Each structure stands twice: as structure tokens, then as C-alpha cells.
Amino acid sequence: MSSTELPSALAATVTPKASPVRVAAGERLRSVGLPGVTLTVRSRPPARDGLPPALYVHGLGGSSQNWSALMPLLDGLVDSEALDLPGFGDSPPPDDGDYSVTGHARTVIRHLDAAERGPVHLFGNSMGGAIATRVAAVRPDLVRTLTLVSPALPEIRVQRTAVPTALLALPGVARLFTHFTRDWTAEQRVRGTTALCYGDPGRVTPEGFRNAVEEMERRLQMPYFWDAMARSARGIVNAYTLGGQHNLWRQAERVLAPTLLIYGGRDQLVSYRMAQRAARTFRDSRLLSLPDAGHVAMMEYPEAVATSFRELLAETRELSGSLDESGAASGAEGSTSGRDGFGTDGSGVDRFGTDGSGADRSGTDGAGRGRFGTDGASGNRFGTGEPGTGVPGAGG
């Protein structure tokens, strides 16, 4: 059992009253109860019946609000839902205190199984990208397409600007940080987070900044806020160190779904140089480079992200049709109905099969990769769009 799987005492069982979470125009919130966890789900009414479902997974310190700028741009394409992962946003901590990447992935899988919404167009940002990669690898029957915005996949040379976030994983660091920053205002915290996560913090509108400050004030009322941050950061670090079939890069090789990769040239948390490795690793990938974006392109340049996703749908229409008919990619392993992909009893043991399907099957020598431009030259050809109005978490 890893340190991220230890029970988290009272923090995991006591949920205090706090100010209401913000709901944007056209959005609605609902609470979903699953064994051991309660999730808040943010959604938009579908533009029409029969749209394929989409699910959005945020990063470390973020929430479902991180997708509020993108979701309305996809109203006519998908039926959108965004999760607050356990311990984040408006979702209370998990009963078992498991904030590992596998634990979060298991939660996503159980939600999709319980809602019978799969296969979905799955989106993930940062830590949410790592979670989504693991979900797509172990339960390909649940994923139509995969869109990853600055996914937190293992890096050997971590950027210096990402080190403070990684240090949260060390025991006691979150407590020390809380002590030394106890006099910081919510405005100061939001400015610091924005400077870290945005390529250009000036893209945050005044209204968006005020909303982010209100959300920060709400989160700081939660006694489990820093516990969830520290344990999730530890979960990312643990996932980075896993080898063999559990390694995230090995799992990326196993992903069957058409994949859209989005990287920002000014990302201070996930290195821009990882874009090329990701494009080579995911077997059916397309790469969108946004030179001026930071860590949260779906908030900074939502229209560019939406345009790229529309192109992904247009390009894979035939594949999507086959998924509609069969509910799973042909030959997908590890897709047994009713199982969470981590063992038949939810124990967290990965089921990858024994037929070697994790080998690098990249089709026609990567011909489909980087078709949106791999050197940033095409990053702005969709226009800059309107900036997102929220502020993300600490990254990862």
C-alpha cells in the first residue's frame, strides 16, 4: 500500500459547510454517490438528444470549473459532464483517503460504469491527463477519443518551476507551507497560481479573477484542502516512479482511442519538450502546439482547443461510428463489463492481459502525428479565442 492510500482520519469524514460553489450560466450540478466516494458532477443540457457523452477530468488543485470555458463551445458536439475529483471542488474526500492516480482512475471508471455513459470522449488536464491515460489503457471500452491537455506524464528532467508543486508530496511540506503562508490573502494565492499556470496571466478577465478569488476563499475553509493537495501530489510522484506495465508511458502505448495532445509553449509545469515523446508514444495521436499557452490551454485558448477537437471528430467519424455500434474498439483488452480495470474486486491491481497488446502498434509509422504542427507554427492558426475566466489549481 502506498502512502497515498492511507486513511486520512477526520479530514476524510468531516465535510464542513462552506459557501456555495459557482455555477456558470447553462450549467447544473448534481451529487453522485458511489461506494466509498461522493462526486459532484457539473454538466450542461445537451443541445439535442443522441449526442455522444464527454467527460472532463481536472488537474491537481483544480475542479470541474476548469472546463467551464470549453464545454459551451462543444454543446452541439457532445453531452458534457465534468467531475470534481474526490477532495477537490465540491466533492468531499474519499472514505479510504486514496488520492493515488490509480485511485482517481478507479473513481472515474466506477462513475462511468454506474452511469452507463461509456464510451465517452474523455478529456484530461495535467494530473487529470495521467488519470485519463490510465483509464483509457485499462478500460478501452469506456473511451471513444482521448484529449489530453498538458498531461502529467513522467519526466526525467523536471522543470525548476515545477519543483515546488512536487515538494508538496513530501511529508510535512504542506503543513509548513500552510504555516508560512497563513497571512497570504486569497488574492495573493490566486495571482501566484495564475502566474504559474497561464502563459499570459493577463488573459484572465477581471470577472474571472473575482470568481477565482471567491473559489479560493471557499476552498481554504475546507480542513482537508491541503491534505488532498499533498496526497494527490504524492500520488503523481509515486506514479512517475512506477516501472513495468504500471508505468504511465507504457500505459500510453496501450491506448487504442484516437488521441489529441495539446501542449503549451509557456507551460511551467509540464515541459513543452515532452510533446514529441507523447506524439510518438500514443499510437493514434495528433499534436496541437500552442506557443503562447501555459499549463491550462482549455482555459487560456478554449476556442483553439474546441476547433482541434472538432477536427478530431471529423477525422475519426468512421471510427466513432464503429464505436457507437460495438461499444468498444475491436480487439480491446481489459474491457470486461462491470469491472474497474484494476482487478475484478476493485483491489487496484492492473489487468493488462497477457497477449502483448501493450506493444507499440503505431500504424503507418506515425503518419498521423503532429498534423496540427509540432514546432508551434500552427498553434495560433485557430485564432486566440476568448480566455478562460477561471483560475486553475497548482498544476500537476
> CATH code at 212?
3.40.50.1820
Nearest to 270 by CA among 396, 123, 379: 396
Confidence of residue 332 (pLDDT cuts 50, 70, 90): very low
- Is a pLDDT exceeding 60 seen at residue 179? no
Q: Is residue 335 part of a domain?
A: no
Contact (CB, 8 A) for 395 and 162: yes
3-state secondary structure (DSSP) of residue 301 = coil
Question: Global pTM?
Answer: 0.77
So what's the pLDDT on residue 357? 35
- Is a pLDDT exceeding 70 seen at residue 210? yes
Q: Is residue 190 part of a domain?
A: yes
Listed in sequence order, the residues at least 6 apart from 246 whose beta carbon sits closer than 8 Å to its beta carbon are: 350
So what's the pLDDT on residue 342? 55
| Mean pLDDT, residues 242-247 | 83
Q: Is residue 337 part of a domain?
A: no
Residues 74-106 have pLDDT tens digits of: 999 999 999 999 999 999 999 999 999 999 999
Q: Is residue 345 part of a domain?
A: no
Side-chain half-sphere exposure of 259, counting CA atoms within 13 A: 33
Q: What percent of the chain has pLDDT over 70?
A: 68
CA gyration radius, the chain: 19
Residues 48-84 have pLDDT tens digits of: 999 999 999 999 989 999 999 999 999 999 999 999 9
Q: What percent of the chain has pLDDT over 90?
A: 55
Q: Is residue 30 part of a domain?
A: yes
Q: Which residues of 227-247 are buried (b: 16+ CB within 10 A; e: fewer)?
A: bbbbbbbbbbbbbbebeeebb
Cβ–Cβ contacts within 10 Å for residue 205, how many? 14
| Mean pLDDT, residues 223-244 | 84
Range scoring the smallest mean pLDDT among 1-10, 161-170, 385-394: 1-10
Range of the domain at 198: 3-326
Query: What gap in Å lies between CA 194 and CA 199, rounded to an integer?
Result: 9
Q: Is residue 365 part of a domain?
A: no
Q: Is 243 left (phi over 0), alpha (psi -120 to 50) or beta?
A: beta
So what's the pLDDT on residue 348? 37
| Number of independent structural domains in the chain | 1
> Exposed/middle/buried for 126, CB within 10 Å: 0-12, 13-18, 19+?
buried
Alpha carbon 25 to chain centroid, angstroms: 23
- Is a pLDDT exceeding 60 seen at residue 331? no
Q: Is residue 373 part of a domain?
A: no
Listed in sequence order, the residues at least 6 apart from 81 whose beta carbon sits closer than 8 Å to its beta carbon are: 41, 42, 43, 53, 54, 55, 56, 117
Contact (CB, 8 A) for 197 and 269: yes
Q: Is residue 63 part of a domain?
A: yes
So what's the pLDDT on residue 326? 37
